[in-house]
Chain A
Amino acid sequence: MKSFALVNPTTLDGALEALRAAMDRRGRSKAALLAGGQDLLTELKEHLSEPEVVVNLKGVPGLDAILVEGDLLRMGALATLSAIEGHPAILERAPALAQAAASVASPQIRSVGTLGGNLCQRPRCWYYRLEEAKCIKKGGAECFSYSGRNKYNAIFGGGPSYIVHPSDLATALVALDASVVVLTQKGLQTTPIERFYTLPSEGSILKETILKPDEILVEVQVPLDALARASAWSKFKERASYDWALASVCASVEKDAGKVNRARIALGGVAPIPWRVPAAEALLVGKALDEATIAAACEEALRGAEPLSENGYKIPLAKGLLTRVLRGLA
């Protein structure tokens, strides 16, 4: 790790000010935000990022709160993954979110790793994570995975980078129709989480979200409706104990008299963003969740996938996971 100054604000205002102060004239930031640190410290140790200032949010009181307000779940950005996975109301009313949190990394990571950190974590692509590989995500010219070793890379939405977004919670929250609240220098802004993430072809290739360097993700809101209650999560890890998703599925289905009323499905581990599959959702509406419908939805969900040389297996894998999740919701 390169040496840095650590700023410990006790208010969001102080944090914003520290971020603002770290911007140079060309709009580049010398600062990094620290929450649980479980991703940031690994970035710093590999010198992928060498901030001069680290702004530590842990001293801001209240940011770790989890509140249920009627049919709205409000989670502060510093809520830990273990708090989410064990929260009784989340377990009951948005079970997929609790399951997704429980599937992250290891107990040691979940005990301090935060919601905000999980959503804003950087890619785990091994090219990105190696300092010596100056890939397109680090300002280089090329995504090495495209013609290189791409077993873990994207089958959807790739180009010019083929990372997959590593956040499990992002996938679950997209399926749960969540919104993120961002504190900008001008105030709070609420955005559907789907629009928080950007494809490499859309946003800046150097980041994965719309978050600007002088902004802070402060809260995530999830509607606790019937859809959330009937949600389920499945994550496939190559190593069950502790791993990223080779593929994951979050689906929620609202039924009426045995027929699907509403459905939301998001796939993780397959694209640079949480990958929602509206065509598959639409296919389910008005039908009973029988094997034929499930099979058709799985086909639809993976239609258009463009695997690279080593990741074609993600297609049957994601289909298999989605099949199981939908069966469980039938």
Chain B
Amino acid sequence: MSALPPFPGAGYPDASLLAPAQDVGAKQKRTRKVKSTKVVDGIEQEVEIEVEDSGGPEWGPRESLKVLDKELQRVDGPVKVSGRATYTHDVRVPGMAWARLLLAPVASLKVARLDFSACKAVKGYLGHEVIEAEETRWLGQPIAAVAAETSEAAEDCLRAIVFEWEARPSVLDREAALKPDAPQVSRRGNQGKPAVRGDEAKARAAIEGAPHKVSATYVVPVVHHACLETHGAVVDWRGGEEAVVHCSSQHTFGFAGDAAEVLGLKKGNVVGLVEHMGGGFGSKFGFGQEGEAAARLSKALRRPVHLMLTRKDEFRMAGNRSGSHIEASAGMDAAGRLVGFAARAHKHGGIGDGSLSGLPYIYKCAESWSEISGVRTNLDASRAMRAPGHPQASFATESLIDELAYAAGLDLLEVRKANLDDQVWHRQLERVAREVGWFEHPHRARPGSAKDELCVGIGFAISRWGGGGGPSCEVEVAIERDGSVVSSVGSQDLGTGVRTYVAAIPAEELGLPLSAVVARIGSTRLGNANGSGGSVTTASLAPAVKHAAWNARQAFAEVLAPLLGCQPPDVVFADGAVQAASGGRKLSWKQACAALPEAGLRAKGAWQAHLQANGVHGAQAAKVEVDTLTGRVRVLHMACMQDVGLCLNRAATRSQINGGMVQALGYALFEERVVDAALGIQLNPCFEDYKLPHSLEIPKMTVVLDDEDRRAPIGMSEAPIVPGGAAIANAIHNACGARIRSLPCTPDKVLAALGKVS
């Protein structure tokens, strides 16, 4: 399953989509080459692209900013805290039918009987669609969909389906998949073609010659996105030429076409809506089989259909992050430099290939070699999940660095700096170290003793991400005669705060408070926008919003200059008023807007390369307490320092970083898809057994935004989920000597690592 859609075509968007009352699009045209980020198969790659550069707008000096780089309250806060925010899950339209899916209960099966006749006797039955009538090859693969008048009746219909099947041989874990006589998951076999980097012989020789060597296997299990809003759609078609499709999606412009195809409508006649969405984390790009089933039912019934996955269905068919199994060896010299690294790695992405970032992740190494291949099993394909492939690579690499540092008797912080040229990580590591009390910590080059019942340890890890943008967004900023300002783009807000900066950027440009600008997003009726994944949204969208706001200001200045007795460039927009730079007559915003023609003013904006940047750094430290009597790990403190370029909203950015750390804490201590390979089922498709951190697990959290970074805005939300897992595992070892090489670090593993389990 593809991780992220490619960027929509480069170049200035079709101006005819947004008929302006007074079109003031870019006039100057020049191009330049910039570095950007592209995500392929879940791995971000740095690419150079040629872009149109209209010049003009600038973010301006940080000190002059009134709205951006401040603590903003998100504009959709009030609707979210009062339950008025409408998610796909909440859409209720007249005549709406309720649909449910029948999923394959085991990993692979042959359908023996699929009979819907009993459904028809169920009160409220409306219809059904068969999705797979022959055989399935992954656990949770949809077989059929049913629709009924109520959600209860839909469940009754689902239960009334007579579904008989024969289990087919399947493999659910890496070991079984790699056996010579293993059942074959796909025609391509159970193992993908290895991607090899470096020279193995040279790497092994370098390791051999190093004074300090470690060989170990590091395992990260499959984990789930666990979006609180499950995947699904409401397809509102009641016959006719047009349809409206609500979908819990990270790509508003990504599913209307799929829906149109199923419904047999023109793509332009299907409106896609994502007013609010309850979490995606990389799992919600396509329309999905659930969306297609909803559309098929809607077409058959000529009625709106609501199909949201149940939680159990969500766990089994709606995405996971691939696991990894990394056999690594590395050598370190006396100065703490990594001199050789060799790794053979397997990705576990179900029927997909999974993702794994390059090894040894961020650290430099004179001679490194890696061979990475995917191992296939009869489970649903992994999808991109926040920083795809990075947490797995980070866990192996950072664990190995710590193990080598202890072997060499070196300070854990200094060892990291010795293997990083980029000084940004140096300052970030030192800062987070200070935040958690590293410099007063007694165990900086050797772990603490498990003789104590309660042991405290500290661990570190770092991250990086691209976060550059690309040309895709079409933004419109409209100023009306009554003083209202509307900033519109079809983009979606996954909870990152997009809606807020879509309003905040024009507010800054026009000298207005945030509350004076209304943001409209989440609809294909509005200007095009890319999918939100790989942290590309901010660097793609913010420059376009800025450009539209700047264009609006230029146009407004043209109108106002004669009134103010100055030239357009001399019109100053500040503090909710306009005035010539030289002083004189001052108009309130409302007065100024009254000078506009009746249709107001509309300006468009497109991506500007110079208004974004690429490449973020982050460092995290975790301080934990290990109870050596019970194996309990309590995270006491997590600190993250992160650069983000210009911060558009400090509150939302801190939230994103907190979120990354909380999610890292989750996969460090709790999260794992548990399967029974013999039965071919998942044992924990529920929040009771798929454990996530709740309130008591949340430690003290410190977020430090790296304000030394003076670059333009950069997408940053992937980076903070990366280092926390390794930092926590390293902190556990630092506390008491329990090295856990297989996440999550559960109490049974802690006790085993301490030698207490016989």
Chain A residues within CB distance 8 Å of chain B? 1-3, 47, 124, 126-127, 129-130, 132-133, 144, 147-149, 151, 236, 238-243, 246, 310-313, 315-317, 320-321, 323-324
Contact = CB atoms under 8 A, between A and B. Distances in A.
B155 A1 contact: yes
Contact of A241 (B106, B632, B674, B696): B696
19 contacts: A2-B156, A129-B688, A130-B685, A132-B105, A144-B678, A149-B674, A149-B683, A236-B630, A238-B747, A240-B696, A240-B697, A241-B697, A310-B748, A313-B748, A313-B756, A315-B757, A316-B630, A316-B756, A324-B629
Nearest to A312: B757
Given A1-B155, A127-B683, A130-B683, A317 B105 contact: no
Contact of A239 (B685, B693, B751): B693
A320 B674 contact: no
B90 interface: no
B152 A1 contact: yes
A286 B691 CA distance: 44
A53 to B, nearest CB: 18
Mostly helix, strand, loop or mixed at chain B's interface? Answer: loop
A130 B316 CA distance: 13
Interface string B686-709: 101101011111000000000000
Interface residues on chain B, size class: 35 or more
Contacts of B155: 1
A210 B685 CA distance: 32
B483 to A, nearest CB: 46
Contacts, number: 89
Contacts of A315: 757-758
A324 B684 CA distance: 31
Contacts of A2: 156, 159
Given A1-B152, A236-B630, A240-B697, A246 B676 contact: no
A321 B678 contact: no
Nearest to A124: B688
A238 B629 contact: no
Given A236-B747, A313-B748, A320 B683 contact: no
Q: Please indicate which of the listed interface residues A1, A243, A310, A316 has the most CB atoms of chain B within 10 Å of its own CB.
A: A316
Interface in B468-525: none
B678 A147 contact: yes
A320 B670 contact: no
Given A47-B159, A130-B681, A310-B748, A320 B696 contact: no
B693 A132 contact: no
A246 to B, nearest CB: 7
Contacts of B152: 1, 3
A302 B598 CA distance: 84
A184 to B, nearest CB: 33
B697 A239 contact: yes
Nearest to B687: A242
Contacts of B685: 130
B676 A149 contact: yes
Given A312-B757, A320-B630, A126 B691 contact: no
A238 B697 contact: no
A182 B697 CA distance: 40
- Kindly list the 7 A-B residue pairs having the minimum CB-CB distance in the complex, ordered from nearest: A241-B694, A320-B629, A313-B748, A241-B696, A316-B756, A132-B105, A126-B683
A166 to B, nearest CB: 11
B360 interface: no
B331 interface: no
B679 interface: yes
B631 interface: yes
Contact of A313 (B681, B689, B691, B757): B757
Given A126-B683, A129-B686, A236-B747, 18 more contacts: A1-B152, A47-B159, A126-B674, A129-B689, A133-B679, A144-B676, A144-B678, A147-B678, A148-B676, A149-B674, A236-B632, A239-B694, A240-B696, A246-B747, A312-B758, A313-B631, A316-B751, A317-B630
A315 B631 CA distance: 12
B449 interface: no
B630 A3 contact: no
A126 B630 contact: no
Contacts of A151: 748
A151 B683 CA distance: 12
